[in-house]
């Protein structure tokens, strides 16, 4: 799209170290946030200045490092279940000298609630893991959200398949259906306000409804 190309042309150039990390992710086929999506997330963080962040889905540590870049004094707890990616994340966070700010937990996010609770509450919860389990992640970790905090869910438009399911087949169609159901469920929650922003691969921003 011409509009996306134009917006990409306005993005600030990241550091050489971040560019190298992006290159390695592309080379290995590791999914990381799209440039416009990560730029938007970082701006949200600059505006809200979260002190504590929970990330569900570390991958190789890219998003955690970018979030720390936007909030240098924050404390980030992040989880990864894939052994190889976990090891890469440990190495990358060490390379960026960010170990004092980023704590990586190894294991399935659905099984780490007790460990995560030790760092709660969180001013920001970022969901970017198994797409078919977003609702489970939300149920499990939303109680750890601070009163003025927000939950950000990535990939909620899922390559456009959520809005136009006709192009999706097989596994992609099933995932698109699950994300569509999650979106519908999320916006219907009376205890929260949610807006979905069509940037990157689609980002849902959720905050508590204090009138309830």
User: pLDDT of 54-94, one tens digit each?
Assistant: 999 999 999 999 999 999 999 999 999 999 999 999 999 99
**33 annotated to a ligand binding site:** yes
| pLDDT of 160 over the 90 cut | no
**109 annotated to a ligand binding site:** yes
Rounded Cα gap, residues 209 and 212, in angstroms:
6
Give the torsion sign (CA, 124, 129, 134, 137).
negative
Q: For residue 165, what pLDDT is reported?
A: 66
| pLDDT of 210 over the 90 cut | no
Averaged over 134-162, what is the pLDDT? 95
Averaged over 134-159, what is the pLDDT? 96
- Considering only 31-40, 66-75, 146-155, 173-182, which range has the smallest mean pLDDT? 173-182
Averaged over 10-14, what is the pLDDT? 94
Spatial contact of 203 and 153, defined as CB atoms under 8 Å apart: yes
| pLDDT of 31 over the 70 cut | yes
Q: For residue 175, what pLDDT is reported?
A: 87
pLDDT confidence bin for 18, thresholds 50/70/90:
very high
Averaged over 175-190, what is the pLDDT? 94
Q: For residue 161, what pLDDT is reported?
A: 83
| pLDDT of 25 over the 70 cut | yes
**188 annotated to a ligand binding site:** no
**128 annotated to a ligand binding site:** yes
**73 annotated to a ligand binding site:** no
Q: For residue 104, what pLDDT is reported?
A: 97
What CATH code would you report for 2-208? 3.40.50.150
At 98-114, the pLDDT tens digits run 999 999 999 999 999 99
**63 annotated to a ligand binding site:** yes
Q: What HEC string does the chain produce? A: CHHHHHHHHHCCCCCHHHHHHHHHHHHHCCCCCCHHHHHHHHHHHHHHCCCEEEEECCCCCHHHHHHHHHCCCCEEEEEECCHHHHHHHHHHHHHCCCCCCEEEEECCHHHCHHHHHCCCCEEEEEECCCHHHHHHHHHHHHHHEEEEEEEEEECCCHHHCCCCHHHCCHHHHHHHHHHHHHHHHHHCCCCEEEEEECCCCCEEEEEECCCC
Q: Would you kindly state where each structural domain of the chain is located, as residue ranges? A: 2-208
| pLDDT of 168 over the 70 cut | no
**Strand partners for 154:** 203
| pLDDT of 124 over the 80 cut | yes
Sheet with 52-56, strands from edge to edge, namely 102-106, 75-80, 52-56, 122-127, 145-154, 203-208, 192-197
Query: What does the mean pLDDT of the chain come to?
Result: 94
Q: For residue 166, what pLDDT is reported?
A: 63
Give the torsion sign (CA, 112, 116, 121, 125).
negative
């Amino acid at each position: 799209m011409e509009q996306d190309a134009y917006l990409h042309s306005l993005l600030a150039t990241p550091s050489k170290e971040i560019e190298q990390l992006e290159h390695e992710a592309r080379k290995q086929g590791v999914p990381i946030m799209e440039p416009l999506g990560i730029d938007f997330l970082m701006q949200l963080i600059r505006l809200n200045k979260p002190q504590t962040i929970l990330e569900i889905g570390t991958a190789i540590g890219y998003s955690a490092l970018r979030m720390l870049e936007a909030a240098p004094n924050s404390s980030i707890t992040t989880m990864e279940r894939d052994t190889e990616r976990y090891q890469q994340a440990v190495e990358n966070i060490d390379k960026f000298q960010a170990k004092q700010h980023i704590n990586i937990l190894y294991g399935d996010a659905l099984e780490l609630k007790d460990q995560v609770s030790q760092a709660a509450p969180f001013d920001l919860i970022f969901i970017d893991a198994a797409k078919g389990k977003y609702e489970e992640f939300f149920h499990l970790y939303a109680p750890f959200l601070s009163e003025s905090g927000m939950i950000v869910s990535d990939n909620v438009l899922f390559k456009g398949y959520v809005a136009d399911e006709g192009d999706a087949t097989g596994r992609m169609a099933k995932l698109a259906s699950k994300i569509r159901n999650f979106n519908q469920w999320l916006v219907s929650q009376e205890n929260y306000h949610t807006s979905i922003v069509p940037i990157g691969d689609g980002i849902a921003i959720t905050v508590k409804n204090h009138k309830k």
